[in-house]
């Protein structure tokens, strides 16, 4: 004999609050239907099973819908209405959200509250929980795929177009301002992109050397020398040709992880490092970030005196970041003057004077 209580248990728990037994359907074998005498009323499904309305079975047992529902309620307990279930879920979600806020850094919780609704956060709480690891700026430079693996468990989670990348960029901008970049956050693209460009630095037959990130820790570096760091490759090339006895490093704009590792090793070798870059807002910001990480570096021709002396070489900026302020007081003076005059000086225009 068929245990119709067992047959209808899941239906009752899922849909029972509506008490619409006439809309319930169950799947039975051909043998069961023959026992019930209901084979002719069943519908043959594509998978070879038979589907039949529950009320047809109840009729065979002379049970009304009300009687069936009462039996199910007695056996499995009364059900909450959809409205009550929504309230219950909302209450449980709020408890989860409150616990989440207590577990993460207050600044991260405040950031999420400012940028996302509670409904958005609850809808994918595990994602936002994992991203809490991405709130803190890495102490040491880290490759983007490695950081993605550490935070979200997927090396591609911070690829362009991915949801994780979008939230990471929001985090960086919240902490460093709208102009903040991955590099500013100590996160860098993969190893193939990461290399340091040098001139007259290594003991090789070549004037110019490109050192890949994995090799930075392996190469032999000079000790107790002066090395000149320049933002622009054209300036580096011109000066390296002119001064073959001087060592140069080209940062190529934003200072990447390989170049930072090289700088760290040169400083450890008691080398004196001098940095020069464009006298525009972007260049000032790059220099400031570099000094924040390596205060031992000396600025060269990046002060207000240089800007005023070579003002005749200045041009209106075609495109430049808008930087609110920088930490270094000397660079802040130049930044203020650039914003006031609305003119910039590129390193290429004055490299002969460097």
Secondary structure element (H or E) that encloses residue 68, with its range: helix 65-76
Domain 195-353 falls under CATH 3.40.140.10: no
Widest Cα–Cα separation across the chain: 105
Nearest CA to 199 among 190, 210, 189? 210
Q: How far is CA 314 from CA 305, 307, 338, in A?
A: 14, 9, 10
CA distance 341 to 54: 83
DSSP state of 206: -
CA distance 236 to 247: 10
**HSE of 51, CA atoms in CB hemisphere, 13 A:** 9
Secondary structure of residue 44 in the 3-state scheme: strand
**Radius of gyration, alpha carbons of the chain:** 34
What pLDDT sits at residue 64? 75
Predicted confidence at residue 190, as pLDDT, reads 67
CA distance 323 to 339: 9
Question: 103: burial class by Cβ within 10 Å (0-12, 13-18, 19+)?
Answer: exposed
pTM of this prediction? 0.59
Low-confidence ranges of the chain (pLDDT < 50): none
For residue 43, the surrounding DSSP H or E stretch is strand 43-44
**Residue ranges of domains in the chain:** 4-79, 83-188, 195-353
């Amino acid at each position: 004999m068929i245990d119709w209580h067992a047959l209808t248990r899941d239906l009752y728990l899922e849909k029972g609050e509506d008490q619409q037994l006439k809309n319930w359907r169950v799947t039975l074998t051909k043998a069961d239907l023959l026992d019930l005498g209901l084979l002719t009323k069943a519908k043959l499904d594509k998978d070879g099973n038979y589907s039949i309305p529950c009320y047809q079975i109840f009729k065979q047992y002379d049970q009304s819908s009300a009687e069936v529902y009462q039996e199910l309620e007695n056996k499995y307990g009364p059900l909450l209405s959809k409205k009550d279930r929504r309230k219950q879920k909302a209450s449980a979600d709020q408890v989860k959200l409150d616990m989440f806020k207590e577990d993460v850094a207050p600044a991260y919780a405040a950031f999420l509250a400012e940028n996302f609704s509670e409904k958005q956060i609850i809808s994918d709480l595990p994602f936002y929980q994992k991203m809490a690891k991405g709130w803190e700026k890495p102490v040491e430079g880290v490759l983007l795929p490695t950081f993605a693996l550490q935070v979200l468990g997927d090396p591609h989670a911070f690829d362009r177009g991915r949801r994780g990348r979008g939230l990471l960029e929001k985090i960086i901008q919240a902490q460093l301002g709208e102009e903040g970049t991955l590099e500013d956050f100590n996160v860098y693209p993969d190893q193939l992109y990461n290399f340091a460009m040098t001139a007259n630095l290594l003991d090789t037959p070549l004037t110019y050397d490109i050192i890949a990130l994995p090799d930075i820790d392996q190469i032999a570096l000079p000790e107790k020398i002066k090395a000149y760091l320049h933002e622009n490759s054209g300036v580096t090339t011109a000066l390296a040709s002119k001064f073959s006895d001087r060592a140069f490093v080209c940062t190529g704009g934003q200072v990447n992880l390989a170049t930072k590792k090289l700088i760290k090793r040169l400083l450890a070798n008691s080398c004196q490092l001098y940095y020069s870059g464009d006298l525009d807002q972007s260049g000032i910001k790059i220099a400031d970030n570099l000094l924040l990480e390596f205060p031992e570096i000396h600025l060269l021709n990046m002060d207000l005196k240089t800007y005023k002396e070579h003002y005749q070489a200045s041009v209106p900026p075609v495109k430049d970041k808008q930087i609110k302020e920088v930490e270094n007081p000397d660079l802040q003076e130049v930044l203020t003057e650039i914003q006031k005059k609305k003119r910039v000086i590129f390193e290429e225009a004055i490299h002969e004077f460097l």
